[in-house]
Amino acid sequence: MFRPLPRLAAVLGFSLLSAFALPGAAGAVEIKEITSPGGIRAYLVEDYTNPLVAVNFAFKGAGSAADPAGKEGTANLLTGLLDEGAGDIESRAFQDKVDELGIGLSFDASYDNFTGSFRTIVENEDEGFDLLRLALNRPRFDREPLERIRGQIMTGILANENDPGDLLTKAWRRTTFPDHPYSRPQEGTKETLAAIGREDLQRFRDKGFARDNLVVGVVGAIDAEALGAELDRVFGTLPAKAELPKVADVTPTLARREAVALDVPQTLIRFALPGVKRDDKDFFAAYLMNHIFGGGTFTSRLFQEVREKRGLAYNVGSFLASYDHTAAMTVSTATRSDKAQDSIDIIKAEMKRLAATGPTSEELATAKAFVKGSYAIRNLDSSLAIASTLVGIQLDDLGIDYINRREALIDAVTLEDVKRVAAQLLGVEPTVVTVGPNGA
């Protein structure tokens, strides 16, 4: 519906709190913070270029870390069932209706959050939002789709029992976050997946989907008044407060060595190092340091030392991971098994070198230019990407003006900041996990 933004917005029942313009390639696009008549908040970008509406949302804290003990895999199983019938519409009819209307509807779960993505053309907006409402509020969890989706996940678990990458990830999590929800596989195990029943799924939804942990980002041909009405229709009957288990903070385990034996031609290697959480004042210093160390695909020090100079691996890189309850930095590569220790030694040597001397001013300038320039391409190149970015900004509590402030935050990072963070994160003995012949 192409209704203009009314001047008497507050009188009509929604509030427009603030707005700003996206810079650069995204053009002059306003991000508005609205509150629906029922009190549901969202970030909105109005865009009438195409008759589309894209919605991303998250239920904070309702991810896999909230799975009940012995029922690990609940959140992941739920992601596959919300669009398998809802209300009075059975699975096949629901899927046919989604296809008929050309709606994009999907759900996902990270360790921390349960997320959803929805897109519809304006012509089918009313029916589309109603299907979303039913999926979130009245999922059926009928026996046939439940067993079918469970069977698909079980097939994946069985297929991954000898998959080197999956074994590496699981061993890395067990070693880095022992006895913590982050150590558990999101899909669960054969035993825990089999133990999840319809009541468990309903209970997880009832306790995890609420208005107080809901975050919404919307992009497209819809104004604030119309969106306010849809927000109340879709989310307004959810419980006021979520009832989620308390998850403890955890520090990555360092100085451990874990070797998984698997008869494969290559050895997979993954390091665990300290990280920096997203709300830390040193986040951008760590982000730039990581880009210089191993985050830059072709320019990083690790790429140059491991691949270009010695040809030990096709790819090598590092990554900063920030969770609600921890932060970690990883280094990953794969190499010939007889060269595994050489690769480990080279990575450790490069860690020590960067920790001791830090990057050069030229490396930092290049990293800043790339990190600033790549943001719009990665985060603002489509309606769904922008909607996802709006959700991420809210989940991390960055502020509605974050995109406008981001370049200044990066520019403010000094060479001394990066040197200090490099010493903190890289000047340690890492945990090293390998998968390969005889544990490599």
Tokens of 340: 């595994």
Which DSSP state fits 113? E
Question: Is 164's pLDDT higher than 70?
Answer: yes
Amino acid identity for residue 207 in this structure: K
Query: Do residues 324 and 112 make contact, with C-beta atoms less than 8 angstroms apart?
Result: yes
Per-residue pLDDT averaged across 269-296, rounded?
Answer: 97
* Nearest to 138, CA basis, from 101, 185, 84: 84
pLDDT tens column, 7-47? 223 322 333 344 444 444 444 458 999 999 999 999 999 99
Distances (CA, A) of 122 to 55, 106, 161, 218, 234: 13, 19, 45, 13, 16
* Nearest to 336, CA basis, from 312, 318, 310: 312
Query: Do residues 275 and 320 make contact, with C-beta atoms less than 8 angstroms apart?
Result: yes
Question: Is 4's pLDDT higher than 60?
Answer: no
pLDDT tens column, 377-415? 888 878 989 999 999 999 999 999 999 999 999 999 999
pTM: 0.92
User: What share of the chain in percent tops pLDDT 90?
Assistant: 88
In degrees and rounded to multiples of 5, residue 220 shows phi and psi of 145, -160
Tell me how many degrees the CA angle 242-244-249 measures, rounded to the nearest 5. 130
- 348-352, long-range: CB < 8 A, 24+ apart: 348/430, 350/293, 350/301, 350/302, 350/305, 351/273, 351/293, 351/426, 351/427, 351/430, 352/426, 352/427
d(CA 43, CA 214): 12
Query: Which residue's entry shows tokens 């070693």?
Result: 175
CA 123 to mean position of chain CA atoms? 31
**What is the bridge-based pairing of β-strands 214-220 and 41-46?**
parallel
Question: Is 119's pLDDT higher than 80?
Answer: yes
pLDDT tens column, 247-261? 999 999 999 999 999
Tokens of 273: 């190092």
Mean pLDDT, the chain, as a whole number? 92
pLDDT tens column, 185-222? 999 999 999 999 999 999 999 999 999 999 999 999 99
H-helix segments, 160-300: 164-176, 190-195, 198-208, 224-235, 283-290
d(CA 325, CA 249): 4
d(CA 5, CA 373): 33
* Nearest to 259, CA basis, from 351, 179, 340: 340
Query: Do residues 221 and 52 make contact, with C-beta atoms less than 8 angstroms apart?
Result: yes
Worst-scoring range by mean pLDDT, 61-70, 162-171, 292-301, 410-419?
Answer: 292-301
Calculate the CA dihedral of residues 19, 21, 26, 28 and round it to 10 degrees: 110
